[in-house]
Amino acid sequence: MVLDSVARRQTALRAAVRQGLVGPDSPVLALLDVEGIRATVRDLRAAFAGPAPVLHTFAVKASSLVPVLELLHSEGVGCEVASPGELALARAAGVPASRTVFDSPAKTVAELRDALAEGVAVNADNPQELARIDALVAERSAAGLATASTVGIRVNPQVGTGSIGAMSTATATSKFGVALRDEGAEDRVVTAFLDRPWLTRLHTHTGSQGVPLQLMAESVRIVYELAERINAAAGRHQVDSVDIGGGLPVNFESDEVTPSFASYAQLLRTTVPGLFDGRYTLVTEFGRSLLAKQGLIAAVVEYTKSAGGRRIAVGHAGAQVATRTAFVPDAWPLRVGAFDQRGEPKRGPESVQDVAGPCCFAGDLVARGRSLPELAPGDLVALYDTGAYYFSTHFQYNSLPRPAVHGFSLDERGEVEFALVRRAQGIAEILAESGAAQSGALTWRNSGQAGSGRGAGDDGKAREGASVHPAPTGR
């Protein structure tokens, strides 16, 4: 049975209620549409198909969940990582080094050494990092080891700011990359390539949500022209790949997918035709645009009330899962769906309501003054377009647990099959993350109890983090 994305979503929510995945005992649930993700990847690959080889990678920060990375890898998408933790996730998902790109702006020497040893592509963020790579390349050469990694330089074309400043990475003063319009910077980049035959890639990323496509395309054009200049100066095709980053914005106002990968690729073909003629390998690093539309968070409404004439529904999804929405609601609004206790869409007259979360601060709202069918205790709210970031960038305010994440698929009869992606966090895990094993580490000197609370485990050995506090003499 073939259903559109909205129908699949509603079918999955009803099934989740029936199976007890969301309800009084599990008040928050995250759902991912597996077929929707596969279809989105197909759209991406089709949009960039042509003579130019393309390596599509996924920005792991958008969903740092190993089963999600495995799914994307099975569809031919690698990983863009920005920390050793994200690199470990990519490896755990089986993504090979040859399909992994390391982009952190603060890579340590140890991290760079590991990436170069394993053949992970590295985009150097600045001249100081490039000097570290020089030393590591020389170190490997002295040991008779080649460098299998593709190494490039990230440049900032300084083309301007989108509507969300924090998401714009090609501004005049951005912390990312070599600021290309600063005096003498472009010449220094060219020289850096000419001095290092193993430098073969240029990288740019203009930003993400709120950045217009035209600004993104202009950045790519500038970097392409820089690659052409370097190759002309080198007298050979030294720069053979261009990493154009990701950043395709997502429409959070409706179920329509706009802009599409196809529209962005077409704009690039018009703006930078030479990039697609087969001389350069393209690398992409899309994140939010691959997953956002394919996820939702469902949460139980616990109470309803009225304040100052405004109805308020207090539920279990708030800033802990929708952090940006709670703190910057104008930039990160979410659509909210109202459902009854069976997971059926709510009917009846609408009224203006706030939808609040469980966090203990006044700004913990996922919707403000929203016209919705009147919510009641036990109903469900669905936060749409939350497949990226919302599941894996948990804000542990009030020690609220991370919710379970399930992927879902529909079989040929239309029956929903769920697959656990990440189990819900339990109280024991919250305690462990909060230093419970180090109980007494700060108070044992004044406890007055010999041998207790000194950061020692059951085996008598000092616990991690407490070994710097030896027991006083005589205790």
Q: Give the span between the Cα atoms of 349 and 150, in whole angstroms.
A: 59
Domain range for residue 255?
48-286
Cα 195 to Cα 184: distance, rounded to the nearest angstrom: 17
The amino acid sitting at 113 is R
> Is there a single domain that holds both residue 221 and residue 335?
no
Sign of the alpha-carbon dihedral angle for 88, 93, 98, 100: negative
pLDDT tens profile 321-356: 999 999 999 989 999 999 999 999 999 999 999 999
Rounded to the nearest angstrom, the gap between the alpha carbon of residue 298 and the centroid of all alpha carbons in its chain is 20
Domain co-membership, 190 together with 60: yes
Both tokens of 241, joined, read: 């790949």
Is residue 405 within 8 A of residue 30, CB to CB? The reply is: yes
Looking at the fold, whether 159 and 191 belong to one and the same domain comes out as: yes
Asked if residue 205 and residue 350 are part of one domain, the reply reads no
Q: In a 3-state reduction of DSSP, which class is residue 378? A: coil
Asked whether residue 324 is assigned to any structural domain, the reply reads yes
Residue 166 pLDDT: 67
Check the CA dihedral 374-376-378-383 and report its sign. positive
Provide the pLDDT for residue 467.
43
Both 118 and 212 in a single domain? yes
The verdict on residue 11 lying in a domain is: no
Helices (DSSP H) in 143-212: which residue ranges?
A: 185-194
Question: Rounded to whole angstroms, how far apart are CA atoms 387 and 297?
Answer: 8
Tokens for 292?
């956002």
Residue that terminates a domain, selected from 286, 302, 329? 286
End-to-end alpha-carbon separation of the chain, Å? 72
Looking at the structure, do residues 256 and 308 belong to the same domain, yes or no? Answer: no
Q: How far apart are CA 201 and CA 118, in angstroms?
A: 18
Q: What does the pLDDT read at residue 160?
A: 66
81 and 184, same domain (yes or no): yes
pLDDT tens figures, 32-80: 999 999 999 999 999 999 999 999 999 999 999 999 999 999 999 999 9
CATH number at residue 254: 3.20.20.10
Tell me, what's the pLDDT at 416? Answer: 97
Q: Is 119 contained in some domain?
A: yes
The answer to whether residue 30 is domain-embedded is no
Tens digits of pLDDT across the chain (475 residues) = 457 999 999 999 999 999 999 999 999 999 999 999 999 999 999 999 999 999 999 999 999 999 999 999 999 999 999 999 999 999 999 999 999 999 999 999 999 999 999 999 999 999 999 999 999 999 999 999 998 999 999 998 877 676 767 666 767 777 788 989 899 999 999 999 999 999 999 999 887 777 888 989 999 999 999 999 999 999 999 999 999 999 899 999 999 999 999 999 999 999 999 999 999 999 999 999 999 999 999 999 999 999 999 999 999 999 999 999 999 999 899 999 999 999 999 999 999 999 999 999 999 999 999 999 999 999 999 999 999 999 989 999 999 999 999 999 999 999 999 999 999 999 999 999 999 999 999 998 776 554 444 444 444 344 444 444 443 333 3
Residues 449 and 414 in one domain: no
* Whether residue 338 is found in the same domain as residue 416: yes
Q: Same domain for 55 and 153? A: yes
Give me 462's structure tokens: 């000092």
State the pTM of this model.
0.91
Q: Is residue 27 part of a domain?
A: no
CATH of the domain at 381: 2.40.37.10
Q: Give the C-alpha separation, 361 to 338, whole Å.
A: 23
Last residue of a domain, one of 286, 307, 341: 286
Residue 245 and residue 308 in one domain: no
Find residue 356's DSSP bridge partners.
Answer: 314, 365
368 and 328 share one domain: yes
Helix/strand/coil percent split, the chain, to 5: 35, 25, 45
The answer to whether residue 134 is domain-embedded is yes
Q: Alpha-carbon distance 211 to 215, whole Å?
A: 7
Say what the pLDDT of residue 454 is. Answer: 46
Place of tokens 């462990």: 432
Q: How many domains does the chain have?
A: 3
